[in-house]
Structure 1
Amino acid sequence: MSKNLKVLLIEDNLIEIMKMKRTLSLLKLDHTMQEAKNGEIALEFLQDKSNFPDLILLDLNMPKMSGIEFLSILKKDENIQHIPTVILTTSDNQKDLEECYKLGVSGYILKPLKYDDYVKKIETVLSYWSVNELKKY
């Protein structure tokens, strides 16, 4: 049985945030989505255990702190390292991919150019994590 997820989207691009909201609405999913425009804001958000998301969707290319820097901090912190984190990026750079998996990322998804393909990928990711057993606090 699938459950509604609390998703934290870490994304600095307003168009990408709107695209994610539109996709959730189109798919008629009742997941709760929180947004952080960069890694620093996301880390502040994660200080409160009651705000812990079930899943983090993380862009790599952001100002102030890159997605890889955020992921590195996340995976070193015993309080939040358990949160599944999926990279959602335009970067098909093999070094980025390898570094993310070395740090313990749960998945690496390339943002497709076509909106229909984007919807399919997001639906697949959210469907998987909504049936996966997740640690609760």
Structure 2
Amino acid sequence: MNKLFNILVIDDDEDDQFLIQSAFLADRERYQFRFATNGSNVLENIDKSERLPDLIFLDLNMPIINGFEVLRNIKNSSLYRHIPVIILSTSDDEQDVNRCYELGANTFMVKPSSHQDLMELANLVRMYWFSLARIPTSRMND
């Protein structure tokens, strides 16, 4: 039996949440999704989940606590820093890109403007991160 991957999507746009999840439907028995619409939800609830995410999609521009702050908290935590974080943002500002990598992002991608292109991007992410790349399977030791 294949491993069940736990994916956390942190994005205040529910349409984008849906499209990202839809890109994984072809192989849906392998993926379980959780969603958060702002950074505050994530920081308050990440410890309460039964299992940590295997991968996080993170938007930068969100209400209450933005993606930069969420990324900083995740990557500064010995419990969560091993989780790959994919920034998926409408921003293509060079300073945002540099700041995300400085904070420990694993990938920075600009959200496409069309729904079809977002589906294709999410499908490529799925193929790369869950077929080609090796990701950590448990909490890492310091």
| TM-score (ref. length: structure 1) | 0.88
Query: Which consecutive segments of 4 or more residues in structure 1 shift more than 4 A?
Result: none
Stretch deviating more after TM superposition (112-121 or 90-99): 112-121
- Structure 1 unaligned regions, length at least 5: none
Q: How far off is 1:3 after superposition? A: 4.4
Residues 46-83 of structure 1: CA deviation (Å, up to 9, x unaligned): 11363200000000000001101110111111111111
| 1:86 match | 86
What's the RMSD between the two structures over aligned residues? 1.8
Deviations 1:2-49 (A, max 9, x none): 744210000111222222233333x34331110011111112221136
How far apart, CA to CA, are the structure 2 residues paired with 1:28 and 1:51? Answer: 20
How many residues are matched? 135
**One-letter amino acid of the counterpart of residue 133, structure 1:** I
Cα distance in 1 for residues equivalent to 2:89 and 2:34: 18
The one-letter amino acid paired with 2:138 is: K
- TM-score, normalising length from structure 2? 0.85
Identity value in percent: 31
Contact 1:55 1:84 in 2 (8 A): yes
Aligned to 2:68: 68
Q: Which residue does 1:38 correspond to in 2? A: 38
Q: CA deviation at 1:128?
A: 1.8
